[in-house]
Amino acid sequence: LLSLAALAAQMRSVARRASQDELKKQVGFKAVDDYVKSGTVIGLGTGSTAAFAVERVGEKLKSGELKDIIAIPTSIRTKEQAEGLGIPLATLDTHSDLDVAIDGADEVDPALNLVKGGGGALFREKIVEMCAKKFIVIVDESKLCDGLGPGFPVPVEIVPFCHEHTMRQIAALPALAGCEPVLRLGNVANNQKDGDEPAITDNGNYIVDLKFTSPIKDPVAAGEQLKATVGVVDHGLFTGMTTACIVAGSDGIIVKE
Ligand code: 5RP
């Protein structure tokens, strides 16, 4: 039997999650209302916040408020959600000029650089979002930070072949000094260990989560060094990509540009 204190703690945590979900919904809906126009090609992000934007696109297509949208999903999960809502889909192979892409993030620094990939979709997110004229990031205020790294491990997608070697190469990169690479196990969308086998991305690769105890001094250099490492497919440092970040908090919604 739960003690009264444990029950109260559980209820508080459910209430916190509900209010965080409400904030995610607000930014997801606002991004679509403000940035998605009829007759455009849009990128659909991945994760619990992006899912609200996908929901809103589906809702507005159904009501006729939006017409002639073509959407490029950034994961199998998002593709399935969008298909379920009747959103017309394509890939970058046929549509590589996007008007706007909307996605969540795990951390946002004051320069609007991001950590992404908590949901394991960083490669597809990056390749799609780099093709968008506008990249709109949607977060609740808990994602804002002073410096990337210590608050949320930086995910890196690597090929399975010789992955332990690649992890050692990553740990030795000068711009990532002090990081601890941890192979993600279990469900690819969850960076808390919840299985014994390596998590597999939509692209058939592994994810390594880089843990930091202090902020990454130069996220651009860190990203360049990761990208130049053989065995690395891509990384969750999204620098210089954000057009605007819509943030929801207890005081309302603000847009940072
Ligand atoms: C998925 C991502 C997500 O955008 C990021 O993890 C944020 O997710 P959520 O909105 O569920 O907090 O990068 O790879």
pLDDT in tens, 142-198: 999 999 999 999 999 999 999 999 999 999 999 999 899 999 999 999 888 888 999
- Distance (angstroms) between ligand 1 centre and the Cα of 115 equals 9
Note the pLDDT tens digit of each residue in 63-108: 999 999 999 999 999 999 999 999 999 999 999 999 999 999 999 9
Instruction: Clarify whether 197 is annotated catalytic.
Output: no
Does the CB atom of residue 73 touch ligand 1 within 6 A?
no
Asked whether the beta carbons of 139 and 49 are under 8 A apart, the reply is yes
d(Cα 179, Cα 39) in Å, to the nearest integer?
45
pTM value? Answer: 0.90
Note the pLDDT tens digit of each residue in 222-250: 999 999 999 999 999 999 999 999 999 98
- Res. 1 pLDDT band, cuts 50 70 90: low
Determine how many CB atoms are found less than 10 A away from the CB of residue 61.
19
- Distance (angstroms) between ligand 1 centre and the Cα of 3 equals 34
d(Cα 220, Cα 208) in Å, to the nearest integer?
19
- Distance (angstroms) between ligand 1 centre and the Cα of 107 equals 9
Specify the DSSP class assigned to residue 136. E
Asked whether the beta carbons of 198 and 183 are under 8 A apart, the reply is yes
ipTM score here?
0.98
- Please name the residue whose Cα sits nearest to atom 4 of ligand 1: 104
d(Cα 62, Cα 152) in Å, to the nearest integer?
37
Does the CB atom of residue 116 touch ligand 1 within 6 A?
yes
d(Cα 191, Cα 184) in Å, to the nearest integer?
6
